[in-house]
Structure 1
Amino acid sequence: MTTTQYELVNPPTDAISAIQYAPTSLRLLVASWDKHVYLYDTSQASGKLLDKYEHRGPVLHVCFGENDEEAYTAGLDWDVRRINLSTGAQTVLSTHTNGVKSVLYSRQQNILISASWDGTLHIHHLSSPTKPHVTISLPNKPFSLSLTPSKLVVAMASRALHIYSLSDLASDSASQGIEPWQRRESSLKFMTRAVACMPNDAGYASSSIEGRVAVEWFDPSTTSQSRKYAFKCHRQPSPEGIDVVYPVNALAFHPVHGTFASGGGDGFVALWDGVAKRRIRQYQRYAASVSALSFSGDGKYLAVAVSPGFEDGKEGVGEGMVAVFVRELGQGEAKGKGAK
């Protein structure tokens, strides 16, 4: 099995906080602490920088909208922005009262969800541009968001986790207050670093600053909940023979096979079969921490963002390599152990 990997030209000049592939093409958005969002075409070796879009502060998250020409961003300027990637025009949809950590677009409900360190979610109804956004208060500071076609998972401080029904968030009664479908406490003992939902809408994986990943299912039945588990990863032995533990900064599910990738402060990316509870493979070590991951919509490519300063779970600190690598996966490379 041959695997091709290449590094994108013209990378950001500061730490990378988020990357996302377009749903139907090999366009890649990259958010950076250098106050820019970058748009690349990764369909050819070394890629091509198509454009970059300046912001007033470091950009913490980015996602595509309903097509490859629309993006949404969040960052330390407190704004939630829409970018027309063709014209470069930017529109502020709402402004939080602190940095905005995450922004996600739900294609099924045509809503945009932002999560801020001010302890709120903003729900933007994109089909009604004049309709004011809905604010939902959270009990703790949000660290990471992920969604499925029907659910939103919000991972927060104090190991708190809320699961919302997207249809509830999109409803006309949302302004009257939305209660989570489920409230949970993380299976991990230390601070959550990332959360990612399974593509089959069955559950999610979460990771912590202490080298662990948990796999859980939405179904609240006792039988289903008994399946949840957690495991150690991204730990490297020291010369003294003691494991050095690194944060697991990034998680991404493969859109076809349902396996998932993890990226750690140790500079490694690993592929996991969450059902069989086995590691499929681990790739070569990168020169700095893995800060973000994204699979292409067809699952044939994996983008890996590498940045210094994520070794201890902190963003935007440190000097060293800032780069994006695109890995073309071999046939069956991301299949689970029991998959045919």
Structure 2
Amino acid sequence: MSQSREDKEVELTSPPFDTVSALAFSPTNPNHLLVASWDTSLRLYDVQQDAQGQKAKFDHKAAVLDCAFSDGRHAFSGGLDTWVREFDLESQNVNHLGQHDETISQVVFSKDSNSLITGSFDRTVRAWDPRSPTPLIGKLTFPERVYQMDVGGNNLVVGMAGRQFHIYDVRKLKEGEQPLQRRESSLKYMTRSLACMADGKGYATGSVEGRIAVEYFDPSPEAQSQKYAFKCHRQTSKGEDHVWPVNALAFHPVHNTFASAGGDGTVSIWDHSAKKRLRQYPKYQMSVQDVAFNCDGSLLAIGVGYGWEQGAEKAGSSVGTARVYVRGLGDEVKRLNKS
């Protein structure tokens, strides 16, 4: 890794060739980081010990859109080539678990159900047991394409086109199962990002129009009265308000604060219970595409590169612009009021 702008931040020395699509830290090793990219690769880094940065690289037939760990040894990917892949990170063996009919947009692993869950533009969510000789163990069909997905405790939140959300019990993902809740987004414009709270009580969503909504699973009027939305990732220049998409959200595993990443090239830390921004880090040169906290909450990975909000004319010049930064964290991620 090479030293970057601040003492607390380093840049990986061998980043992907094209825009970062997803980041995921190991649930057991705080220094092992997966980076998925539009350059058709999934890369594993040891962000502390490996001087060359990269420990392993797995090539795909098309862009990789998402990735996840199950434990410290096994990881998964999905993307434009529609295959669900499992990787043994020690032996570097690859296992094809199955396939969707169209692009896989989301890959999450549920610790509570010990299953892999994938979402796709084919309007299905599928559950997999990687240990089984017949890995596909569940399939749900949706009215729209699946754009976002995350797990909080036993709750699976599925975000679809049309600003729709369905919430399921991850232990009940059999065909025909009805959602626990159906919701419409609190935000007026298309959902761009989704993350569940570390305490399992709710989730946050971000839109293409620079807003974040904080939601709670408990359907009671008391709990629902606590939800709110706010503006962010906006800049005023020469009297004009420039609005950027909220590309990614991630909750801190210890303090339950969260990070937001925007097309404006900034990353902010928020205390949703106090409704305050705790910190905004120095601006990056390009759009921030994803962020991820490591398992003990001491590091934040930041994936930077071309985003479509920068205009289609810049897409061809995006190769070679991707960067991955890893920032050491301090008190700025702690809640203001811990009561």
Give the TM-score category using the shorter length. Answer: over 0.9
Q: In the alignment, which residue of structure 1 is the partner of 2:159?
A: 155
Q: In the alignment, which residue of structure 2 is the partner of 1:319?
A: 317
1:279 pairs with one of 277, 280, 296:
277
Q: Does 1:266 align with 2:264?
A: yes
Q: Does 1:126 align with 2:124?
A: no
1:116 pairs with one of 93, 115, 120:
120
Distance 1:131 1:266 in 2: 41
Q: Does 1:107 align with 2:82?
A: no
Q: In the alignment, which residue of structure 2 is the partner of 1:29?
A: 34
Match runs of 1:58-207 below 5 Å: 58-65=63-70, 67-130=71-134, 132-169=136-173, 174-175=174-175, 177-207=176-206
Match runs of 1:169-248 below 5 Å: 169=173, 174-175=174-175, 177-239=176-238, 241-248=239-246
- 1:39-64 Cα offsets, whole Å, 9 max, x none, are 00012497721010001111000001
Letter in 1 for 2:35: V
Letter in 2 for 1:161: F
Q: Which sections of structure 1, spanning at least 5 residues, go unmatched? A: none
TM-score normalised according to structure 2 size: 0.93
Secondary structure of the structure 2 residue equivalent to 1:333: helix
- 1:185-226 Cα offsets, whole Å, 9 max, x none, are 000000000100001110000000000000010000011111
Q: In the alignment, which residue of structure 1 is the partner of 2:3?
A: none
Q: In the alignment, which residue of structure 2 is the partner of 1:334?
A: 333
Distance 2:232 2:193 in 1: 14
Q: In the alignment, which residue of structure 2 is the partner of 1:289?
A: 287
Aligned length: 330
Distance 1:11 1:55 in 2: 16
- 1:229-283 Cα offsets, whole Å, 9 max, x none, are 00000001122x1110000000000000000000000000000000111101100
When the two chains are superposed, the root-mean-square deviation of aligned CA atoms in Å is 1.8
Distance 2:51 2:163 in 1: 40
Letter in 1 for 2:272: G
Whether the aligned pair in 2 keeps the contact of 1:30 and 1:37 (CA below 8 Å) is yes
- Structure 1 vs Structure 2: percent identity of aligned residues? 45
Distance 1:46 1:153 in 2: 38
Letter in 2 for 1:93: L
Secondary structure of the structure 1 residue equivalent to 2:162: helix
Distance 1:3 1:277 in 2: 29
TM-score normalised according to structure 1 size: 0.93
Cα distance change, pair 38–99 in 1 and its aligned pair in 2 (3 A): same
Deviation (angstroms), 1:87: 2.2
Deviation (angstroms), 1:311: 2.9
Secondary structure of the structure 2 residue equivalent to 1:294: strand
Distance 2:79 2:290 in 1: 16
Distance 1:234 1:150 in 2: 31
Distance 2:307 2:333 in 1: 28
Letter in 1 for 2:289: S
